[in-house]
Chain A
Amino acid sequence: MMPGTATRALAGALPRFSVLALILLASWLAFPGYFDVTVNDGRLYGSLIDVLNRGAPVAILAIGMTLVIATGGVDLSVGAVMAVSGAVAATLIADGQPLAVALAAALGAGVLCGLWNGILVAVLDIQPIVATLILMVTGRGIAQLVTEGAIVTFVDESLIFIGSGAVAGMPMPVVIAAVLAAAAVLLVRRTALGMFIEAIGVNRRASVQAGLNVRVVLIAVYVASGFCAALAGVIVAADIRGADANNAGLWLELDAILAVVLGGASLLGGRFSILMSIVGALIIQAMNTGILISGFPPEFNLILKAAIVVVILVLQSPQAGRIAAAIAARTGITRRR
């Protein structure tokens, strides 16, 4: 219906997909079995599946982070919120509560955390980086209080299933991430929410004057981010069958921000694409997995990661955008002006 928008979106997606393809290709060169997928006990196995599975928590974080960043904010607390929700879920399950109670409490804790962030940002007008820094620090404290300083382990199969089970062959975390992504895309693109979020990110003053309920939208995106973080936290806890308040989700807020930036969103707010952010998350995970299986010492991981990030950011610069447009034109995709 809107060929202009569609081609523009395609041209924007091109550099990200090419980088992802390059990383996969390089991994394959280093490890010939990379693309092999095997079926075992009705579950898919292989490096590619591993990328998806390991990338799911960051992809889920990136969904919420995308919305927050699109409003011109940032949520530094998502790693800590993961620890909180993991701790809540693990503690309740270990206490013999049913899965539904544990899940509701864990996700509810994430929503409360998001509400707190949202109120600090939208009502008290505290800069997002500072406002969410508060919970980034205290969140781990709260998580430790919940677990009483110990690593809480559990053997409840229903919770473990969320971390390492499979549906139709796909690992559960991948299924959850895919469903959440689809729901999020529908929520923001089939309602006017996406437009409101972008308008606030581009020009908050003009959005207020156009009659938008800016406060409510801002609170909503932080709540969404808190929810996503809680879900990721439950998955990670379920995967390791325990809650580690100190290390669960540690530094993952940075991976989530990076995923969104790799997905092409500006930290100043505005246009966003949830799907591209997920591609960003997969790029990060493909790098991690690729370096791991290619036998490079893990010390290289960080340096290589940095190098690839630089490459992507260069590709995203306006100058490189023109080059990409030229390539797109040569391959027959015409850009409407």
Chain B
Amino acid sequence: MAHPSPLLEARGLGKSFLGQTALDGVDFTLRAGEVHALLGENGAGKSTLVKVLTGVHRRDAGTILMDGAEVAPHDTAGAQALGIGTVYQEVNLLPNLSVAENIFLGRQPRRFGLVDRRAMERNTRTLLAGYGLAIDVAAPLGRFSVAVQQIVAIARAVDLSGRVLILDEPTASLDRQEVETLFAVVRRLKARGLGIIFITHFLDQVFALADRVTVLRNGRRIDTVAVADTDPMAIVQMMLGRDLEEVESGPGRPAAAAGAAPAIAFEGYGRRRSVEPFDLAIRPGEVIGIAGLLGSGRTETARLLFGLDAADSGTVRIDGRSVRIASPRHAVALGFGYCPEDRKTDGIVGDLSVRENIVLALQARRGWLRPLSRAEQAELADRFVAALDIRTTDIEKPVKLLSGGNQQKAVLARWLATEPRFLILDEPTRGIDVGAHAEIIRLINRLCDGGMSLVVISSEFDELVVCSSRIVVLRDRRHVGELAGGALTATAIMRTIAAGGADDRTEAA
């Protein structure tokens, strides 16, 4: 804390959208020469806070001070004029223009009324040299890696604004090496006295880079602490908002018989930039929970298991036989099923009827030449509409007209109709009402009594504890621990997340 005077200060910020409170009396201070991490689960208000600070959203309450004077940026240009620059996860630059054009877009140096390309490229080289980057500035930006593009975006933002830099999940699509490069750049900027707001889901990165951390939850600031004075466990607790002494329910499902041979065994299965290699053995009738914070690699794991992403390392064995899962079609043929997290974009086929949505996967597996008759389809649909209590007036109704929970159940029905041996449920209870929630949990239990294996991904740790026989804990895209039996509690999950990969922190630092 060499510069204790606040550079940017927000007091009592409030913002709501259509009656939904997104920010509620949030205080925030950023000092010059510090990296201030902003943490929180999805919907905690991180993005809203940043957007209010940069004038993208108009605040409903509170004041913003820059160097102690009140400011009111109306848009990103206004924020830039005040010295606040933002770099988003998805690089907001133009990949088809050259690096130099991207840096100077909209403010190209001119000579005789024409763009002075040589001056532009010279200035860009000088500018990027300050970031330890020596690249061909005349080449199209899109030709470089995401990490280089990020640094170019940062260089542009800092050159335009120069006081405060906001990095919104800059490392989300970078690998370890690239994260290091980016961190080196951030440290240089910090040494130059910039205030840096750093949004991330990676706890390791907070401890490797940040000086202070502010945790948001449900639009409120929970606390701001110096990183040196805290530990990952305390931060996980702040993010999830519960005490260790809270719920201590035991595992709801007995572990499968230890002797049972694993039906499906993944070994050394992984993919670069997605999930580091892991082992996962799944026995019949077993429910394996996958726990971890957002961005820890939960969905990435599911995508690998289902063949949506191709693994670049490892093997899969089913009943001892080596198989290849290169596409969902392979996975479905092997008796796998996957209910995705985002049912709107990946799950339901909105314009098709409930009936068609339910028979789709089974029909896909049978192939187009062996169609289910209309009567068979109707019978299947009727059966699952009744079994899962899907609320619809008519199986011919387009599925998009159903409520979210019922759409979720229709996707589930689609997989159950294929009588899968292995089903992956990604956030099966997200966004559905309490009643449907309980039903889905009951259903999970019933399915596994029938010998089906399940992987359930959920951010509700209590829910996982109740329905799983084992829980795999993920952190920073690594499988860091496995809990079973008496050790299976929500607290133990949090402890594993907080402690997980602690020995590797030096690697990241």
Contact = CB atoms under 8 A, between A and B. Distances in A.
B366 A206 contact: no
B328 A208 contact: yes
Contacts of B308: 208-209
A318 interface: no
A145 to B, nearest CB: 35
Contacts of A158: none
15 contacts: A2-B396, A192-B369, A192-B370, A193-B368, A196-B364, A206-B347, A207-B360, A209-B340, A210-B328, A210-B332, A211-B328, A211-B361, A211-B365, A212-B360, A336-B394
Contacts of B441: none
Nearest to A269: B351
A149 B366 CA distance: 49
A271 B331 CA distance: 28
Most chain B beta-carbon neighbours within 10 Å: one of A195, A205, A211: A211
A203 B350 contact: yes
A210 B414 contact: yes
The 9 closest A-B pairs by CB, nearest first: A211-B332, A211-B364, A192-B371, A192-B368, A210-B361, A212-B364, A202-B351, A203-B349, A193-B368
Interface of B: 306, 308, 327-329, 331-333, 338, 340, 345-352, 356, 359-361, 363-372, 374-375, 393-394, 396, 414
B345 A205 contact: yes
Contact of B363 (A192, A202, A270): A192
A195 B356 CA distance: 8
A4 B392 CA distance: 14
A196 B368 contact: yes
Nearest to A5: B396
Interface of A: 1-2, 4-5, 190-193, 195-196, 198-199, 202-203, 205-213, 217, 270-271, 336-337
A337 B393 CA distance: 8
Given A202-B352, A206-B347, 17 more contacts: A1-B374, A2-B374, A5-B396, A192-B371, A193-B368, A195-B359, A196-B363, A196-B364, A199-B352, A199-B360, A202-B350, A206-B345, A209-B340, A212-B364, A213-B364, A217-B368, A337-B394
Given A1-B374, A211-B329, A191 B361 contact: no
Contacts of A5: 396
Most chain B beta-carbon neighbours within 10 Å: one of A1, A195, A206, A209: A209
Contact of A209 (B338, B374, B375): B338
Given A198-B351, A203-B350, A210 B360 contact: yes
A118 to B, nearest CB: 16
A192 B366 contact: yes
A198 B332 CA distance: 20
Given A199-B349, A205-B346, A270-B351, A210 B393 contact: no
